[in-house]
Amino acid sequence: MQTLAQLLGRRHKSSSGKVAKERLRLVLAHDRANIPPGLLDTLKDEIIAVISRHIAIDADDVQVTFSQNAQESRLVADIPLATKNRRRKR
Amino acid sequence: MAQVLTITSGKGGVGKTTLTANLGVALAVQGQRVVIIDADVGLRNLDVMMGLENRIVYDLVDVIEGRCRLRQAMVRDRRVSELFLLPAAQTRDKSAVQPQDMVRICDDLQEQHDFILIDSPAGIEQGFRYAIAPADEIIIVTNPEVPAMRDADRVIGLIEAEGKGPARLVINRIKPEMVRRGEMLDIADVIELLAVDLVGIVPEDEGILTAANRGQPIAFSKDGSLVRQAFHNIASRLRGKDVPFLTLREKSVFERIFRFMRSGGN
């Protein structure tokens, strides 16, 4: 019964309606803030350059994302430090 | 005092003219005194949608440039008591109309009508600017699809920047069967993403095309079709009535069987 229910009731994970919603969410956020998606790459490169001058970071895993909801727009930079740096220096 | 409503969308082809024609008809059928203005100068279409194309003598630009009086350019729709069309010029372009021209024309129409509906051109340029200039309220038409929604969002932003907001939304050409399969944005998705108030939902219907073929807007029909009801409901809401939204979501056979099984066959 459970299998049948899953078969009949399930919304396909990649249904195009869901995909449309997620794509729209992103594109509207960028349009509203007038931040073209390519700008985030530029920001990311410059952030990496600046921070690397002072701290060893894991440049490959740096993520700069933009999010927006009804209340606020937010630029989020996730910058992992290089592993060796996490040891305490003496 | 007439209420001036501009129907716009950003993107073309989402159903502005169809909505304007049918809202005009529905409001007139409901006893309102209505003028519909085709503001798409150079690409006149509201006349053919209404089936009034053979009765046009003068147009909007003739009025603006003083070649005729406003009343002479207004085509009366004889199928209903108080419905007039002010057609766009076909052989001119948008530069022939300034925002203050539209304001002046709507001021002249204020006294003797209840609703003035303006069918805006697509886009966000001059035509859009003069179409929204006299508006008391703006209705955005969109389809539940990515490009139309993106353009609608842009237009909503422009309208707010002009101090003309908040706009209200009509979601047009919903296909309940596709929504059910998860292959189309549903009404909740659209409202959440665009963050505006909803004033109507209109299902996709072949009857719209056959009505346009005949120049007989579906809002005139006496059939019980959902799409006719949708237009009349929007008209009622514009008159301030509280009308519940149509239920467009069809339950599939599978869903019904599943529900039946889960309920233990009761």
Residue A23 contacts B, CB cutoff 8 Å: yes
Number of domains present in the structure of chain B: 1
pTM for this predicted structure: 0.85
- pLDDT tens, residue by residue, A50-72: 999 999 999 999 999 887 776 78
ipTM of the complex: 0.82
Looking up residue B229, the CATH number of its domain turns out to be 3.40.50.300
Average pLDDT, chain B: 94
Can you list the residues of chain B whose pLDDT is less than 50? 265-266
The nearest CA of chain B is from the CA of A30 a distance in Å of 11
Residue type, B186: D
Q: Which domain holds residue B185?
A: 3-262
pLDDT of residue A13: 57
Q: Judge whether B201 and B187 are in contact, CB under 8 Å.
A: yes
Instruction: Compare all CA atoms of chain B with the CA of A29 and give the residue at the minimum distance.
Output: B193
- pLDDT tens, residue by residue, B97-128: 999 999 999 999 999 999 999 999 999 999 99
- Containing B173, the helix (H) or strand (E) segment is strand B168-174
pLDDT of residue A1: 44
Mutate to test the interface with A, among B193, B256, B260 (most CBs of A within 10 A): B193
Q: Judge whether B140 and B196 are in contact, CB under 8 Å.
A: yes
Test A9 with B258 for CB contact under 8 angstroms.
Answer: yes
The domain limits of chain A are 35-83
Q: Judge whether B39 and B8 are in contact, CB under 8 Å.
A: no
- Out of B157, B255, B262, the one facing A32 most closely (by C-beta) is B157
- pLDDT tens, residue by residue, B182-224: 999 999 999 999 999 999 999 999 999 999 999 999 999 998 8
Instruction: Compare all CA atoms of chain A with the CA of B251 and give the residue at the minimum distance.
Output: A9
Which residues, in sequence order, are CB contacts of B256 under 8 Å at separation 6+?
A: none
Q: What's the rounded Cα separation, in Å, for the pair B3 and B114?
A: 6
Residue A12 contacts B, CB cutoff 8 Å: yes
Instruction: Compare all CA atoms of chain B with the CA of A34 and give the residue at the minimum distance.
Output: B154
In B19-167 the beta strands, taken as DSSP E runs, fall at 34-38, 75-76, 83-86, 115-119, 137-142
Q: Judge whether B232 and B221 are in contact, CB under 8 Å.
A: no
Q: Judge whether B32 and B115 are in contact, CB under 8 Å.
A: yes
pLDDT of residue A5: 45
